[in-house]
Structure 1
Amino acid sequence: MPDIHIERNHTLGIAGAREVARQWVQQAEQEFGLECAYTEGKDRDTAQFTRAGIDGTVEVTASTFTLDATLGFLFSSFSDQIEQKITRNLDALLDAPQGGSRFA
């Protein structure tokens, strides 16, 4: 069971959702030092991310974003703050005009 689970519905379609997901991946790499691998599928894309103490996935469809992350011992005590930051960033991207502005 993941320590962090965030699910958001959207109306961007798969092309718009991919753009938002790629922006999220870029931001996560820069801001959090995560190593990310993005795999595009026909109806569903998956971004896997990792670094010492955190592993997870973002699943992207034409109508949903689902993020699951498992935190190591050192990060687990900060799970609420980490989840709040990720939620703010993802919501900012999804609420941006055409789903694609910089994070807050």
Structure 2
Amino acid sequence: MPELKIEREHTLGMAGARLVAERWREQAEQEWGMNCALEPGEAVDRMRFERSGVSGELIVTETRFDLQIQLGFLLGAYSGKIAEKINANLDELLGPVA
């Protein structure tokens, strides 16, 4: 299965990162039809998500967003376009990569 790994550093702190992660969750559920489950932690939050052909996890810390996505066979052919869309989405939420 094709896998995407997208990592972003930020300076939002944990409270700000949680707000951004919540906005990302809302978009993932509404626009992409994902089922999301948040597992909050003291220093690390994990948000697991899935839908037909896609599953993954967003790991949020006070300085990083780490997104790992596993694509099913059919969506694997579109991995470049999917990564491009996710990067644009993160740019919008966090600001462009420095």
Q: What TM bracket, shorter-length normalisation?
A: over 0.9
Is contact 1:2-1:68 (8 Å) kept?
no
**1:5-32 deviations in Å (ceiling 9; x for gaps):** 0000000000000000010011011111
Aligned to 2:65: 65
**1:31-82 deviations in Å (ceiling 9; x for gaps):** 1101001111000001000001000000000000000000000100000101
SS at 1:11's partner residue? coil
Amino acid of the residue matched to residue 54 of structure 1? V
Aligned to 1:86: 86
Structure 1 length-normalised TM: 0.88
Structure 1 alignment gaps of length 5 or more: 97-104
Amino acid of the residue matched to residue 46 of structure 2? T
Structure 2 alignment gaps of length 5 or more: none
Is contact 2:2-2:73 (8 Å) kept?
no
When the two structures are aligned, how many residues end up with a matched partner? 96
Among the aligned pairs, what percent are the same residue? 49
RMSD, aligned CA: 1.5
